[in-house]
Amino acid sequence: MRIATWNVNSVTARLPRLLAWLENSGTDVLCIQETKCAAEQFPADELRELGYESAVNANGRWNGVALVSRVGLDDVVKGLPGDPGYDGAEEPRAISATCGGARVWSVYVPNGREPDHAHYAYKLLWFEALKAAIAGDAQGSRPFAVLGDYNVAPADEDVWDISLFEGATHVTPAERAALAALRETGLSDIVPRPLKYDVPFTYWDYRQLGFPKNRGMRIDLVYGNAAFQKAVTDAYVDREERKGKGASDHAPVVVDLDI
């Protein structure tokens, strides 16, 4: 089974590339972030024509997550149990389902904006809720993974120049501690250092020639439990999909499993 995660930065804007990528990549399950559309606007019909079922948690022009699968889509749960909410409302940032023998989550962790911003405090609370929600599955015998845009670079090597991130989100000790706490439930970083590229970034800003100059970050992660990790046969960042006109600012992260 081939499973992937991809922050598409608007499923509407990226639809032709999304459909082509699914058709050409052989992906069985795709975790999508930043759909940036209402649930009824999600292209379920177009995906169904390619053989994919869809489950969507989205409510408008911001955020939004989805799971699409051609190997089953069962026991769908929309949202994060215990979600702390932001500014009085829950944001559509999580969805989970059982797909082809594995339980998977697609998550879009809050950005945090600035360390002194209320959104940063929300980000840390959201991580706590995620940890509580997945702890049982992380310890289970069934393959289980949380895939998505975590908006945290796990180590200094996961940003193109750590000296430029002083005082910024994505690299603060508290955010990295939240990631570590998530791993301590029984998860491992499945794609820490793919061999195809010396620095396997997954995100490059559109501005200032970020991608051509490889000024990127590794913030799109696959965290899997022991059963998931044991089944992995290959993993890589599809950097080619970041190239060309109309690309997302994130690249897909792909994992092959023997399940």
Detail the residues annotated as belonging to a binding site for Mg(2+): 7, 34, 149, 151, 249-250
Nearest to 254 by CA among 68, 94, 27: 27
| Annotated catalytic residue 149 | yes
Q: How far is it, in rounded angstroms, from Cα 196 to Cα 190?
A: 15
**SS3 of the chain:** CEEEEEECCCCCCCHHHHHHHHHHHCCCEEEEECCCCEHHHCCHHHHHHCCCEEEEECECCCCCEEEEECCCCEEEEECCCCCCCECCECCCCEEEEEECCEEEEEEECCCCCCCCCHHHHHHHHHHHHHHHHHHHHHCCCCCEEEEEECCCCCCHHHECCHHHHCCCCCCCHHHHHHHHHHHCCCCEECCCCCCCCCCCCCEECCHHHCCCCCCEECCEEEEECHHHHHHEEEEEECHHHHCCCCCCCECCEEEEECC
| Annotated catalytic residue 108 | yes
| Annotated catalytic residue 223 | no
From the candidates 52, 108, 122, 150, which is the catalytic residue? 108
Return binding residues. 7, 34, 149, 151, 249-250
Q: How far is it, in rounded angstroms, from Cα 256 to Cα 40?
A: 31
From the candidates 28, 83, 137, 149, which is the catalytic residue? 149
- Catalytic residues, by residue number, are 108, 149, 250
